[in-house]
Amino acid sequence: MKKIYYFFTQTWIGSFGLVFFIYFFIGQHFIVPSPSMEKTLLVGDIYIAKKYSYGVPIPRVPFLNIPLFPDFKNNGHIIVGDGPKKGDVVVFRYPKDDNQYFVKRCVASFGDEVIYYDDNLLIHSENKNFMLGKKTIKFNNKIWAVNPYTKVGSNYSKNILDSNNSSFVQLLNSKEPIDMIKKDDPNFGIYFYKKIKENEYYMVGDNRNNSYDSRFGGAVNYKYIIGKPSFILMSFQGNERIFSSIK
């Protein structure tokens, strides 16, 4: 049996088969096209994403992006697994155009509530462990974590009282559909609110001033999840980044 396997892998058919098996089920490389994830990922970084981190997604033909198997269960996966955890950097197909691949950070999941206000990202979660050790404020009789991902790569550490920012104004004036409810509170001012549904994950770029993410494109259903970035394979921003892990 070992001889047969060895012989098979030495043929061009076997070599291609092994490469495609790895590409379809184990890992895939992606290139970062925008600064939306600075400083976690920089423009031009080439990274490897593990495709088995959240189950195994239905493989697609390279370049044509055609699924190899029908999606009988409408969950986008041939093997179902646990979805992303809050704080994970995730690769996914953009829900409004599944030919595009995005990489963002999962900031909220089922049952969580999200507020975007004056460049601040506020998360309310019933998971008490998530809320521990984070800067919080009380609003509408709930405790909200303020910018909880600043220690894991985000560029942001804005003060909740700072209203002189560009991205919030950009969000207010955006011509794109906003997947958040606009609200006005006499004590809190204008803000955007979202509660995450089951099997959905809210993805936001670490560099929020330059990120087209779930605030505009909507929460990401599990069926669009591809995998979890593992390490940087190549970078034009310095050799010290090569083979560094992505967190």
Catalytic residues: 36, 104
Closest CA to 35 of 226, 184, 205, 167: 205
Spatial distance between the Cα atoms of 82 and 109, rounded to a whole number of angstroms = 12
CA 55, 61, 65, 71: dihedral to nearest 10 degrees? -50
95 is written with which tokens? 């829900």
**Using alpha carbons only, what angle is made at residue 238 by residues 234 and 243, rounded to the nearest 5 degrees?**
40
100 is written with which tokens? 């595009």
**HEC profile of 67-103:** ECCCCCCCCCEEEECCCCCCCCEEEEEECCEEEEEEE
**Using alpha carbons only, what angle is made at residue 105 by residues 245 and 183, rounded to the nearest 5 degrees?**
160
